Amino acid sequence: MKLWQKGKAAHYKVDQFTVGSDREYDLLLAAYDCEASSAHAQMLAKIQILTQEEADLLTLALNQLKEKAQNGSFTIEDEFEDMHSKIEQVLTEQLGDLGKKIHTARSRNDQVLVAMHLYIKDELSQIKKTVFQLFDLLMNLADQYKKELIPGYTHLQVAMPSSFGMWFSAYAESLIDDVHFINTAHTLADQNPLGSAAGYGSSFPIDRELTTELLNFSTLKYNSVAAQMSRGKVEKTTAIALSMVGSTLSKFAMDVCLYMGQDFNFVSFPDDLTTGSSIMPHKKNPDIFELIRGKCNALQSLPTQLTLLTTNLPSGYHRELQLAKAPIIDGIQELKACLDMLLFSLPKIEVTKNTTDQSKYDYLFSVDTLNAKVQDGMPFRDAYRELGTAIEEGNYTATRAVEHTHLGSIGNLGLQKIKDKMNKLR
């Protein structure tokens, strides 16, 4: 069954090519389509296209379908083009001609739009909650290990003293920036497009403010063409938010992969969180973090993919907008999986103590020695040259006592300040 079909069916090859994998993704969106259809039915009753009894019967049946979609028992067989055709068919089977009335004053275009907006809103809210959990975990680890020094690097060369407290809290504070992008994407999705129909409104006297209220949108997309143009734009904005979180997670995962290496040996994980080699019995591979790195790197390509998909489309609906559905849904699921795995594994991280006591890190403290000479009154340039000569001639002796006091340094991480900044976004 196809909602647009009036008589002769399309060739099966056309059907296969145009439908693609929509049925698979629609299983995730069906609950939202049912929710929007319920609001639409109640609105049709208010403008007297339906009776209140009819609207309530439709809402009851739609709520039952929504529950099936949520518990995984809703199916879309190959004879149906998408969730919309399957839902309307079920309503017609249960309610007769009343089921055929649900499509009054709307199009599949605004059905897809509103389902995607509702889905993206929910998923971004869940991702945001998980990011908060990861932030809290990183901050707790930062406080727990704030006195444990590790080398800081520039150009992958030993540079200056850092600490596990600085490392963990750096990624925590980076997540604050990412939440701003999540909030922006959520704001764009939090606009009701229902009622824009095919992109040019309807001659029915629909009440779009009522469906906005019933669906808990903060506002509506007033202009019907603007509502249609939001398709692709909301997905792209969401992709940017996903990519920003992904960039933070991939960089962190890369650090973990380096720090687990024997040449670094800063951190390790229990055996049940690593994998072995088929021929090298000593191996403990960081597969979890390599996959997080790879998946999150791939997420960073999403905005470009969606930009190329939509970049030269004029206003109005175009079928390739359907292709925006899969990458954004897959991207959301991938990011959720990566966040979940970090929350599962990070509490078990094992930090190596006294790492910087090794002689190979002697030069790590040369900047502190230089700064001490300047504080004693020597001009900076003279102190720099004197210390450089001592290092070159092998006469430098490291002093490992460090005293960094400014806000944001290893001696004054400002953890509460960072927490306060994130708390404003909760």
pLDDT at 316: 85
pLDDT at 141: 98
pLDDT at 399 over 60: yes
pLDDT at 207: 97
Percent of the chain with pLDDT over 70: 93
Q: Indicate the DSSP class of residue 280.
A: -
Pairing mode, if any, of strands 191-192 and 219-220?
A: parallel
CB 83 within 8 A of CB 76: yes
pLDDT at 4: 42
Question: pTM here?
Answer: 0.93
pLDDT at 11: 54
Residues of the chain with CATH 1.20.200.10: 108-202+224-356
CB 257 within 8 A of CB 275: no
The tens digit of pLDDT for each residue in 5-56 reads 555 555 556 556 555 677 888 999 999 999 999 999 999 999 999 999 999 9
Distance of CA 33 to the CA centre of its chain: 22
pLDDT at 82: 86
CB 393 within 8 A of CB 357: no
- CA pair distance 111, 192, nearest whole angstrom: 11
Domain 12-100 CATH assignment equals 1.10.275.10: yes
pLDDT at 14: 58
Q: Indicate the DSSP class of residue 104.
A: T
pLDDT at 153 over 60: yes
Q: Which of 186-190, 227-231, 274-278, 324-328 has the lowest mean pLDDT?
A: 274-278
pLDDT at 366 over 80: yes
The tens digit of pLDDT for each residue in 159-214 reads 999 999 999 999 999 999 999 999 999 999 999 999 999 999 999 999 999 999 99
pLDDT at 320 over 70: yes
Average pLDDT (130-148) is 97
- CA pair distance 173, 169, nearest whole angstrom: 6
CA dihedral 85, 222, 307, 292 (to 10 degrees): -70
Residues of the chain with CATH 1.10.275.10: 12-100
The correct CATH number of 108-202+224-356 out of 3.40.50.920, 1.20.120.1200, 1.20.200.10, 3.40.50.300 is 1.20.200.10
Average pLDDT (337-350) is 97
